[in-house]
Structure 1
């Protein structure tokens, strides 16, 4: 059974009034997905000991608590105590509070996030390999040889990309391929034609996706978006056959859709329409730089 097919018990009481209650909700969530503690801790990037203590109702660092909650798809709702009765009823539970409501401040300050500054105008291409520069999934043998499950040549479409980029020497490449999880970036880049390899300036290997994005298949999109916005990139395009759900990322829903070219993994960039889209992007980002 895949983790995504298992769902937490919707009948479990969502109200937690102490660390023990929070720990029980987190443990229930993890067990429903059939993740062991070690695997879950790696996905949310917290020490396994911290996750274990949290599930046992023991104190952990606040940052770790909220990271686990967020990556487990859980949220903290803070509201007047008496309103908990209404909130619980809305999700199908009955609850009788033993407290009295307290007066609340009449002043509510709305904190606005600082505006996002996209200061880096270097045109940047986020590049995948499998399903993009070749057809098939790659495998690394014990002796270090990389082959495709389709038996086709590695990076057979790389020359197409090299030709598209040739008139635009300012374009840099950031590798998003899963190869960088196993091999050093310079080694991965060495498989590319020299004209592409020298454009490689880094990879997204150090950006870890949240568990919720791994479960719904949008982890690649999250990683690329986080890298691009974190670097303040203004002109960028991600070409990938697994960058799903772009509409839901960015400062506003839909604001990053035009930055993603979702490819057909059975064609990659050999698809003429995909090449046309890359050409359009190159022309768009080149014009303001010349001006």
Structure 2
């Protein structure tokens, strides 16, 4: 068991017992070792090693004995770090194509989900979007301040001006303030011209834990809402809408629906404002074609 062995050709990502078994079998075969000899050297029964290689569950102690005996190591790390490591090793992974990693509750409009709303809908965040900084919420008084010391919702008037020529545009709030304040309280901080456009929030949409862990929580919440309501003309302005190129059945098909902002500039960024103007103009044109 001390001989030098070749590296594994298979992708080392093992998301299920079958993939783990393939890696173990490949390692043993690469070492030119027999099943019974390997089992004996690892301190497990031949039947246990056979079950492991065939994708059947074994005891944790036996698993680690086999991994250690074959010179293998198991790493547990955040998915983003795993992605970088796998790419360094020459492997790429489409996480949401892996069984068990598909977007739960997210449906793509098609034969079974037709578009039934062409109303222009803007998904609006607060922190990093309508102001710089993160909110410090006092749930007792409902008062809000920012950790940056900057004015609260200082860029809201900019958004109001952008939307003013388009009275048909509706707003759906996505801000994390909704986790601690009521919808009425959250909307009350907006200028009246914006507050009256608010028709709903994404409060009721709950993402899977995997989306929370890999930072795509907000993106999937918004996408789920848009699909559920059958929205056609929508745009999300947010500093947290990561991974938009992965949502939908076709990679990249929904990228144009998301405007990922620089949290230090929000919608005060000239490029961001132009992107919003372009979206507004395109939806207005579509209504008159």
TM-score, normalization by structure 1: 0.64
Q: Which residue of 2 aligns with 1:124?
A: 121
Q: Which residue of 2 aligns with 1:254?
A: 252
Q: Which residue of 2 aligns with 1:216?
A: 214
Q: Which residue of 2 aligns with 1:95?
A: 50
Compared CA separation, residues 144 and 287, structure 1 to 2 (3 A): same
Q: Is the 8 A contact 1:220 1:243 kept in 2?
A: yes
State how far apart, in whole Å, the 1-side matches of 2:16 and 2:137 are. Answer: 44
Does 1:179 pair with 2:177?
yes
Q: Which residue of 2 aligns with 1:263?
A: 261
TM-score, normalization by structure 2: 0.64
List aligned pairs for 1:268-287, cutoff 5 A.
268-287=266-285
Q: Is the 8 A contact 2:123 2:174 kept in 1?
A: yes
State how far apart, in whole Å, the 2-side matches of 1:11 and 1:128 are. Answer: 35
Q: Which residue of 2 aligns with 1:288?
A: 286
List aligned pairs for 1:14-93, cutoff 5 A.
14-15=16-17, 88-92=20-24
State how far apart, in whole Å, the 2-side matches of 1:226 and 1:233 are. Answer: 10
User: Alpha-carbon deviation of 1:114?
Assistant: 3.9
| TM-align CA RMSD | 2.3
User: Alpha-carbon deviation of 1:145?
Assistant: 1.6
User: Alpha-carbon deviation of 1:116?
Assistant: 3.8
User: Alpha-carbon deviation of 1:12?
Assistant: 9.4
State how far apart, in whole Å, the 2-side matches of 1:175 and 1:13 are. Answer: 36
Structure 2 SS opposite 1:92: helix
Structure 2 residues without counterparts, runs of 5 or longer = 1-11, 26-48, 55-109
Structure 2 SS opposite 1:95: helix
User: Alpha-carbon deviation of 1:13?
Assistant: 10
Structure 1 residues without counterparts, runs of 5 or longer = 1-9, 16-83, 100-112
State how far apart, in whole Å, the 1-side matches of 2:21 and 2:270 are. Answer: 55
User: Alpha-carbon deviation of 1:92?
Assistant: 2.2
List aligned pairs for 1:97-176, cutoff 5 A.
114-141=111-138, 142-176=140-174
User: Alpha-carbon deviation of 1:96?
Assistant: 4.0
Q: Is the 8 A contact 1:239 1:261 kept in 2?
A: yes
Larger Rg: 2
